[in-house]
Amino acid sequence: MEKMDIVVIGASAGGVNALIEFVKSLPQNFDASIFVVLHMHPSTPSNLPQILTSYGPLLAFHAEDGEKIKRKRIYVAPPDHHMLIEKGRILVRKGPKENRFRPSIDVLFRSAAYNYGAKVIGIVLSGMLNDGTSGMWSIKHMGGLSIIQDPAEALYNSMPVNVLKEVDVDYSIAVSKMGMLLEELINKNAPKMHEITPAQMELMKMEVIIASNENAFELGILNKGELTPFTCPECHGTLISLKEGTSVRFRCHTGHAFSSSTLLAGVTQSIEEQIWSTMRTLEEAIMLLERIATNLEQAGNHGAAKEFFAKAEESRRQSKILHNLVKTQELMSEDLAEAV
């Protein structure tokens, strides 16, 4: 019988400390393969493999495209690249962002679920918003196990809380206890993979392929969901909606993907950016109107100059309204519901 020897982990804000505690909890010679996605800025050099190696018993490395999967290793997604796993090897690709991140937790989790089914154990640690929820849903849907960091101890608990809301979580425990739990789980036989519909399997396959940087439009992604009136915050492409259990997520025809929460955050961020852009344009108009008015006044055309000065003053009033509006513009997401 096959063992549950594929462990995939996702973390974001507060995730470095959680990952350090996680590797500290691992037993010597932990006989499984561990894959880690940590959200980080794409231009920030990552020392995470060295950090995890120094605190835990296993060697950690940045994954390389095409390398074979080995046991007793920790593979970390490099900055600005998705990490996917196939049968026996790792893919490192610069596919479209999911939830505005690359690397994305959902990408790793979904590829593991598609290729390894019930052999997968998914873990979500500290983080904001809900990257990882869709991927964990896929892991559970294929028969794998779901573990989250106890939200009460997570520095930022949005990610584990969102998984708890949408997925039938198997374990919610402190990070310091995860190593002992995993040691017990990986020595058990993997359960049978759940049966899912051919349409669900085809969609999962397509999304894995899209994340590896294949053309989403040519693959026919627009035929896999319901067209919406919304546009992608990344590229302004058409968005379709996709249902997973009780939740809805979105994907555009170029491949970008969003949870409802991340899409809302992206839309409200776009509103702020557009207000700033409009305010900048108005201020440029004010400067031009005042220059024209000054030139007219110097030329002796006082009537026309007065009219242009008046237009400049009206534009200045409009700019002040926008300036006050942008100060109160709020970045929103579904996480606000937790605070209500």
Nearest-5° angle of CA 181, CA 91, CA 187?
Answer: 20
What CA–CA distance (Å, rounded) separates 163 from 144? 14
In this prediction the pTM is 0.84
**Is 133 in contact with 107 (CB distance < 8 Å)?**
no
66 residue type, one letter: G
Mean pLDDT of the 104-111 span: 97
pLDDT attached to residue 336: 41
pLDDT digits (tens, 9 = 90+) for 279-316: 899 999 999 999 999 999 999 999 999 999 999 999 99
Give the residue numbers marked as catalytic. 12, 39, 131
Domain boundaries, the chain: 6-185, 262-339
The domain defined by 6-185 folds into Rossmann fold (3.40.50)
Q: Is the pLDDT of residue 189 over 90?
A: no
295 residue type, one letter: N
pLDDT digits (tens, 9 = 90+) for 151-178: 999 999 999 999 999 999 999 999 999 9
- Classified as helix, coil or strand, 103 is coil
